[in-house]
């Protein structure tokens, strides 16, 4: 019941361990007959390579890490992250990489955990699933020369490998669209402003309003990208201001869901009294009634591209990654007139 090692195979086949190793890597310095013999022996003995031992000498783990960069609870509650993971998993699996998940309670801890992943040689690289202002983790990774790809962007770090959509432009366009549909007073509903994605969308929103010169921007910022927070936030806003808006642009579908709930509860009609557009296109919400209009992000694809890029970086020293900006699509369903 002991593990079959390369040495066992070597002995049984009457060759040296180095030969067996070369057969495994299909080196062209080994004759066909020997290869055949060794392969047969491996099969007979039930040999399987030991990834640990291999990693020790090659200094590669063939593993990439996935760091949420959000509190676990929060991250998993939002289907956006599941989509990203799914995309990443598809690629890692195909490329024979393992995927390890790192997710902790808070940002500080996560930063530490991520660095440990590298220092303890558990991963060859990581994918960061979101970024915040002055992201120290990114500083550290760059300083240490640890390979990573960011899903999102970091204004303070020019030229790092990222996969993203153009949030400023996408938001700008969406606001412009709402104005064209004759909505007069559009407010924004954002998650925590420490995230770059919140900032970028806010910027696009503000810019669009300014350029169309017809009103002041107004952003409701809630504590988390969750419907509970959005629900409460919008409810409070309505009560305080006695309405005073006819459209909400939510920076996330979950937020949009909360907004819908609050609005309906106040007896306002969607989309007649208030129009709503979200972000992400969480599939489930297209089954809502009214079905949510939203800016569709190629979420799955973003995960794929990030994984592909990272793996390429790991295998080609001359490749330092790039900036991939994917385009989005405005999906209009029931929540705008």
Partner DNA sequence: TAAAAATGTGCAAACGTTTCAATATCATAA
Partner DNA sequence: TTATGATATTGAAACGTTTGCACATTTTTA
Residue with tokens 């808070």: 106
Q: Where are the beta strands (DSSP E) in the chain?
A: 63-67, 98-102, 125-128, 148-151, 162-165, 186-190, 219-221, 247-250, 275-280, 293-296, 323-326, 329-331
Burial class (CB in 10 A: 0-12, 13-18, 19+), 330: middle
Give residue 323's region: left, alpha or beta (phi > 0; psi -120 to 50): beta
Which partner, a copy of itself, DNA, none, binds residue 72 by CB below 5 to 8 Å per kind? a copy of itself
Contacting range for a copy of itself; rule: CB under 8 A; set: 93-101, 190-198, 237-245, 317-325: 93-101
- Cα separation, 210 vs 204, in Å, equals 10
Contact call for residue 318 and DNA (CB under 7 A): no
Contact call for residue 7 and DNA (CB under 7 A): yes
Which partner, a copy of itself, DNA, none, binds residue 240 by CB below 5 to 8 Å per kind? none
Instruction: Give min distance, CB of 14 to DNA, in A.
Output: 7
**Nearest to residue 129, comparing CAs of 258, 225, 222, 59?**
225
Spell out, one character per residue from 114 to 153, where the chain touches a copy of itself: x when CB under 8 A holds, - when not.
--x--xxxx-------------------------------
Contact call for residue 103 and a copy of itself (CB under 8 A): yes
Contact call for residue 76 and a copy of itself (CB under 8 A): yes
Instruction: Give min distance, CB of 78 to a copy of itself, in A.
Output: 9
Instruction: Find the helix or strand (DSSP H, E) in which 321 lies.
Output: none
Give residue 143's region: left, alpha or beta (phi > 0; psi -120 to 50): alpha
Contact call for residue 30 and DNA (CB under 7 A): yes
Write the CB contacts of 166 (distance below 8 Å, at least 6 apart in sequence). 325, 327
Among 49, 133, 184, 239, binds a copy of itself (CB under 8 A): 49
Contact call for residue 28 and DNA (CB under 7 A): yes
* Residue ranges binding a copy of itself (CB under 8 A): 48-53, 55-56, 61, 63, 66, 72-73, 76-77, 79, 81-83, 85-86, 89-90, 93, 98-104, 113, 116, 119-122, 227, 231, 254, 257-258, 261, 264, 283-284, 287-289
């Amino acid at each position: 019941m002991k593990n079959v090692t390369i040495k066992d195979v070597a002995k049984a086949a009457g060759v040296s361990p180095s030969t067996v190793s070369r057969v495994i890597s299909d080196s062209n310095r080994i004759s066909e007959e020997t290869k055949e013999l060794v392969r047969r022996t491996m099969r007979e003995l039930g040999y399987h390579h030991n990834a640990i031992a291999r990693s020790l000498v090659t200094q590669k783990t063939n593993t990439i890490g996935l760091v949420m960069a959000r509190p676990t609870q929060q991250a998993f509650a939002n289907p956006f992250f599941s989509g990203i993971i799914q995309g990443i998993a598809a690629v890692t699996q195909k490329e024979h990489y393992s995927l390890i998940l790192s997710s902790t309670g808070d940002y500080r801890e996560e930063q530490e955990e991520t660095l440990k992943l590298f220092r303890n040689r558990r991963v060859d690289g990581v994918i960061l699933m979101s970024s915040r202002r002055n992201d120290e983790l990114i500083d550290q990774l760059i300083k240490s020369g640890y390979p990573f790809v960011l899903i999102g962007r970091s204004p303070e770090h020019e030229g790092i490998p990222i996969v993203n959509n153009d949030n400023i432009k996408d938001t700008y366009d969406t606001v412009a669209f709402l104005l064209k549909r004759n909505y007069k007073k559009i407010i924004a509903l954002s998650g925590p402003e420490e995230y770059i994605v919140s900032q970028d969308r806010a910027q696009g929103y503000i810019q669009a309003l300014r350029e169309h010169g017809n009103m002041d921007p107004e952003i409701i910022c809630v504590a988390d990208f969750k419907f509970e927070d959005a629900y409460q936030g919008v409810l409070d806003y309505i009560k305080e201001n006695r309405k005073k808006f006819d459209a909400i642009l939510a920076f996330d579908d979950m937020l949009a869901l909360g907004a819908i709930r609050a609005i309906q509860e106040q007896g306002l009609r969607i989309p007649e009294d208030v129009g709503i557009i979200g972000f992400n296109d969480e599939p489930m919400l297209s089954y809502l009634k009214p079905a949510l209009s939203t800016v569709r992000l190629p979420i799955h694809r973003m995960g794929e591209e990030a994984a592909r890029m990272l793996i390429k970086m790991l295998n080609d020293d001359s490749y330092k990654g790039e900036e991939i900006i994917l385009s989005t699509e405005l999906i209009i369903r029931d929540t705008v007139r």
